[in-house]
């Protein structure tokens, strides 16, 4: 059983969780903040990823509570898209448990870099309500949801960004509504990952608890803050931060 962290560490994780929660609900950036947060207190990479899932559940709950007006009338979409991402999440969890931690560390920088590019791509798509999408295109987007669900189960950092991009094409909703649907869908994928990892891996619960409280607070504040910040500015800030993170993790894994 892991030792109980010091009071200072608990406060550090709590405050870091608040920041991660705001970043997640506003721009799907939680794991890119909370994952290195866990590494900084001495949790090994694979276990940091698993412990992170335990805290992310509460971030999703906070986001959903704060997004009532955006989610009104859209719960059917949440359940539908959540179902497909959960299928992928299960496969991603199996992959994480099957491959060594060193393999995980070496692929993380590329996951982060791709995620940063995706947030910029999502800003270039404009909803088109005048044309019905071809059925094959919808099927392709659903298939990609399964794939990104696998990525979410395997690592998760910025997976919400990719889900958000796909939702902007699947739903043609505005940014705030698509983001709210994304937060709920990510909650399902994280919940499934947590259940699997609870029985198959090691979760540092004493590190997860303060982060979970912070993420719930940050998850609640994020959608409220986002209503007052231009979406384009948010995308560029997050893209810049993901690039910095990718460089840091690449250096640690390869240099």
Can you give the pLDDT at residue 146?
A: 92
Is the pLDDT score of 27 beyond 80? no
What whole-number percentage of the chain has pLDDT above 70? 85
The model's pTM is 0.76
Q: Both ends of the chain: CA-CA distance in Å?
A: 33
How far apart CA 183 and CA 185 sit, in angstroms, is 6
Q: Would you say 118 and 159 are in contact if contact means Cβ atoms under 8 Å apart? A: no
Q: Is residue 40 part of a domain?
A: yes
Polymer length in residues for the chain: 255
Model confidence pLDDT, tens digit, residues 29-72: 666 678 888 888 988 877 887 888 788 888 888 888 888 888 98
Q: Is residue 153 part of a domain?
A: yes
Lowest mean pLDDT among 53-62, 104-113, 177-186, 194-203: 104-113
User: What is the average pLDDT across 91-103?
Assistant: 78
Is the pLDDT score of 166 beyond 60? yes
- In degrees, to the nearest 5, what angle opens at C-alpha 119 toward C-alphas 117 and 124? 100
Which residue would you say has higher pLDDT here, 78 or 151?
78
Model confidence pLDDT, tens digit, residues 218-239: 888 887 887 787 767 777 777 7
Quote the domain boundaries for residue 90: 7-254
Q: Is residue 68 part of a domain?
A: yes
Query: Taking all residues of the chain, what is their mean pLDDT, rounded to a whole number?
Result: 81
How far apart CA 198 and CA 196 sit, in angstroms, is 5
With tokens 């994928």, the residue in question is: 189
How far apart CA 186 and CA 97 sit, in angstroms, is 20
How far apart CA 63 and CA 221 sit, in angstroms, is 8
Q: Is residue 2 part of a domain?
A: no
With tokens 């071809």, the residue in question is: 134
Which residue would you say has higher pLDDT here, 91 or 253?
91
Q: Is residue 168 part of a domain?
A: yes
Q: Is residue 1 part of a domain?
A: no
Q: How confident is residue 119, by pLDDT bands cut at 50, 70 and 90?
A: low
How far apart CA 117 and CA 98 sit, in angstroms, is 28
Is the pLDDT score of 243 beyond 70? yes
Distances (CA, A) of 36 to 48, 177, 196, 249: 8, 29, 22, 9
Residue 177 belongs to what H/E stretch?
helix 175-200
Task: Choose from 19-33, 52-66, 123-137 the range with maximum mean pLDDT.
Answer: 52-66
> Domain total for the chain?
1
- CB within 8 A of 134, min separation 6: which ones? none
Q: Is residue 205 part of a domain?
A: yes
Can you give the pLDDT at residue 15?
A: 93
Q: Is residue 185 part of a domain?
A: yes
- CB within 8 A of 125, min separation 6: which ones? 165, 168, 169
């Amino acid at each position: 059983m892991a030792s109980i962290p010091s009071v200072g560490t608990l406060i550090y994780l709590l405050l870091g969780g608040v920041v991660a929660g705001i970043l997640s609900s506003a721009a799907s950036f939680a794991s890119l903040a909370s994952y290195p947060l866990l590494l900084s207190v001495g949790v090994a990479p694979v276990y940091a990823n698993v412990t992170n899932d335990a805290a992310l559940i509460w971030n999703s709950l906070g986001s959903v509570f704060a997004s009532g007006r955006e989610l009104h009338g859209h719960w059917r979409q949440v359940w539908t898209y959540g179902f497909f991402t959960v299928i992928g999440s299960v496969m991603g969890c199996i992959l994480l448990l099957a491959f060594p931690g060193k393999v995980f560390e070496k692929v993380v920088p590329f996951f982060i870099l791709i995620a940063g590019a995706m947030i910029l791509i999502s800003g270039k798509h404009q909803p088109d309500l005048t044309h019905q999408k071809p059925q094959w295109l919808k099927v392709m987007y659903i298939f990609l949801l399964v794939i990104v669900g696998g990525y979410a189960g395997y690592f998760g950092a910025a997976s919400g960004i990719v889900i958000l991009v796909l939702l902007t094409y699947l739903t043609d909703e505005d940014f705030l509504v698509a983001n709210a649907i994304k937060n709920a869908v990510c909650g399902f994928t994280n919940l499934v990952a947590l259940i699997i990892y609870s029985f198959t891996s090691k979760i540092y619960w004493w590190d997860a608890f303060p982060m979970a409280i912070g993420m719930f607070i940050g998850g609640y504040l994020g959608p409220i803050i986002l209503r007052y910040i231009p979406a384009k500015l948010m995308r560029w800030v997050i893209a810049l931060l993901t690039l910095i993170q990718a460089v840091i993790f690449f250096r640690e894994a390869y240099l």
